[in-house]
Structure 1
Amino acid sequence: MAHTCLRHFLAKLTPQGETVVIPWLEERSLEGFYLPVTSHGANAHPVVVCIAETRRTKEEILSLVLRSARQRGMALLCVDLPDEAPSPRVAAETGITAALDYLIEARGIDPARIAVIGDGSPSSLVTRGIALDGRAAAAVCDGGLWDLWAARQTDACVAALGMVQAGPRLPAMNCPMLVPLRAGEAIEPGHARHLLAQHHPGNRDILLKVFGETSSGPWTLDGYDPILVADFVFDWLGQQLNAGAGEADCIRRLESRL
């Protein structure tokens, strides 16, 4: 019944939202919801890929971000991604590449207008997928924090036993990145900033934002309201994806006169 109601809701949107099947593996595809902003000139609008990983489903993440995205003129592609590898030879994070391939090849979207966000799960799967693919223009994810933090806990235990263990080898992120952290989670904000600075030394476009603290400061947002969090995230995405839009439009107008 819930799926029927959702499909009815998507059909009532203008333009209509769609349930889409995204090619991934020979024996497996990904299901998602694609919500364009307009039927014409879709490539001029940013598209945000929302990955439901372990904490939420694509239906839940859609309900959280839909209002914020449409108010800012951003199209959405919401996709469920399994939290485990579909086979011993294929990592689950390759689903990120499948989603971007779909937008670029089937929808004709410019990669410079595509951002990817995770659902806030305590996992670095989405980060690994974005980093390995390398095409996203902006990302909202953990930046590898959970993998790095878990590895540090393991290293501490191993060191206590007098053993040596190599640290994790994670791909670095090169695009602008917003790292949301909820107050009270296992990773302390100061430690999180230290891990991010160590792992992404060449990327200065990283913002760590702590949500849910009651104290004021540059890294906090009072209270934890999912809608306010979504508004903050999409405002930040708008700044990243629209940064070069005015310059690009100017160049296109000049070229049309030549």
Structure 2
Amino acid sequence: MDWVTGPRVIDDLASTRRAAATFLEDFGAPDSASGHSDWAAKWTKIGDAHDLLGDANINKGQTDDAERAWLCALTSFELAKRLAREDAAECEKATAKIEATARKVGALGQKIERVPVKCYDQSEILTYYLSAAGRSKAPAVICISTEEETATTLLGRLLPVLVDRGISVLVVAHEDISDSSDHSDMALSCCLDYLSVRSDVDARRIGVYGDGLSAALATQLALSDRRVAAAVCDGGLWNLARMLASTQWLAGTADVSHEDVVSACRSRMIQRFKCPVLVVASSRGIVSLPEASKLLSHASPAPIDLQLAMPQTITHLEEIEDFVTFDERIFGWLEHKLLPNSAS
């Protein structure tokens, strides 16, 4: 595709997502260096075109066509948001478009429920629940947003990924979990309680996915609640780093943590996991590739299913992750672990 003249609007979700992924792969090339703001504006226009097409289709009563167009718009707006990271106003504008379009998709056939989950202290966490189409007892995943995103924004990013997955999701905002008067793992256990009693959820196949700093929250839930059947998390590396930093501060030296001591801590931590784990390493996240690789080497002799995933990062002007390919990787892994007979 010729990115110099500009990307084309394609009224097909798979093609739109391939176009976005291809754009990100090629973005570091010299002929793509027109600046983030220009490309953010172009992808916003593409999203607007899909969004308007969805509106036109809904007015004609063509709900399937409307949903497909809006899902294309969500991918385009997400890419525009990431390209506009350095421009707060443009980033906020793209986020607002994502949330507005996500609500349109949610209004179709009442596919998405706004669900208040009650915590142990009787407070409530407002979540989104999206049920898997065509399944009476589907696996489910608790998805926790980054510290920078709302639950609605994360829902907008995930809706195109979840098409035909056969997985239900409960989307939660990082802020709501981390600010809960209950401990975050207890608040997330309440989310797990809610899913476990739903008639359309298979209580034996509930996973958790934490994005950004929420990867550490996903780890806490996986370690504290044995009902978790699969976890996309940080593998405990955030808590390990904090523990070592505290030890060094108390000792007043940076030399207190010898590698053999750290290795022993990693080994003990790994042995606590009782479910399959996908550790997400990222240059922008809380887990570095070297630390994740060390964790993986410690997991090799242990009886644990632990894998490592790292998104491709485009470093032209600033770091932008290929979220399209990476999200497909994450939910393909979750589908494989929670739906063993899946072709993913």
Q: Normalization by structure 1: what TM-score?
A: 0.75
Task: Supply the distance in 1 between the matched residues of 2:190 and 2:120 (Cα, whole angstroms).
Answer: 9
Residue 230 of structure 1 corresponds to 327
TM-aligned CA distance change 1:230 to 1:210, over 3 Å: same
Task: Supply the distance in 2 between the matched residues of 1:110 and 1:162 (Cα, whole angstroms).
Answer: 48
User: What SS does structure 1 have at the residue aligned with 2:107?
Assistant: helix
Q: Letter of the 1:179 partner, please give it.
A: V
Deviates most, 48-57 or 139-148: 48-57
Aligned pair partner of 1:207 in 275, 294, 307 = 307
Q: Following TM superposition, by how much is the alpha carbon of 1:69 offset from its aligned partner in structure 2, in angstroms?
A: 1.4
Task: Supply the distance in 1 between the matched residues of 2:273 and 2:204 (Cα, whole angstroms).
Answer: 15
Aligned pair partner of 1:172 in 264, 272, 275 = 272
Aligned pair partner of 2:128 in 23, 26, 33 = 33
Task: Supply the distance in 2 between the matched residues of 1:241 and 1:234 (Cα, whole angstroms).
Answer: 10
Give the paired residue count. Answer: 233
Q: Normalization by structure 2: what TM-score?
A: 0.58
Deviation per CA, 1:131-152, whole angstroms, max 9, x where unpaired?
2111121111111111112222
Structure with the higher fraction of residues in helix conformation:
2
Question: Contact 2:237–2:291 (CA<8 Å) still a contact in 1?
Answer: no
Deviates most, 124-133 or 173-182: 124-133
Task: Supply the distance in 2 between the matched residues of 1:106 and 1:199 (Cα, whole angstroms).
Answer: 34
Question: Contact 1:148–1:195 (CA<8 Å) still a contact in 2?
Answer: no
Q: Following TM superposition, by how much is the alpha carbon of 1:36 offset from its aligned partner in structure 2, in angstroms?
A: 1.1
TM-aligned CA distance change 1:152 to 1:122, over 3 Å: farther
Q: 2:191 matched to 1:191?
A: no
Q: 2:156 matched to 1:63?
A: yes
User: What SS does structure 2 have at the residue aligned with 1:99?
Assistant: helix
Q: 2:226 matched to 1:130?
A: no
Map of 1:86-97 to 2, 5 A cutoff?
A: 86-87=180-181, 90-97=182-189
Task: Supply the distance in 1 between the matched residues of 2:291 and 2:104 (Cα, whole angstroms).
Answer: 46
User: What SS does structure 1 have at the residue aligned with 2:294?
Assistant: helix
Aligned pair partner of 2:196 in 104, 118, 139 = 104
Deviates most, 57-66 or 115-124: 115-124
Q: Following TM superposition, by how much is the alpha carbon of 1:156 offset from its aligned partner in structure 2, in angstroms?
A: 3.6
Q: Letter of the 1:77 partner, please give it.
A: L
Unmatched runs of 5 consecutive residues or more in structure 2: 1-95, 315-319
RMSD (CA atoms):
3.5
| Structure ranking higher on relative contact order (CA contacts 8 Å, 6+ apart) | 1
User: What SS does structure 1 have at the residue aligned with 2:310?
Assistant: strand
Identity of aligned residues (%): 27
Q: Letter of the 1:129 partner, please give it.
A: L
Task: Give structure 1 regions of 4+ aligned residues with deviation exceeding 6 angstroms.
Answer: 1-5, 162-171
User: What SS does structure 2 have at the residue aligned with 1:112?
Assistant: strand
Structure label with greater radius of gyration = 2
Aligned pair partner of 1:20 in 67, 91, 115 = 115
Q: Following TM superposition, by how much is the alpha carbon of 1:85 offset from its aligned partner in structure 2, in angstroms?
A: 5.6
TM-aligned CA distance change 1:199 to 1:154, over 3 Å: farther
Q: Following TM superposition, by how much is the alpha carbon of 1:101 offset from its aligned partner in structure 2, in angstroms?
A: 0.7
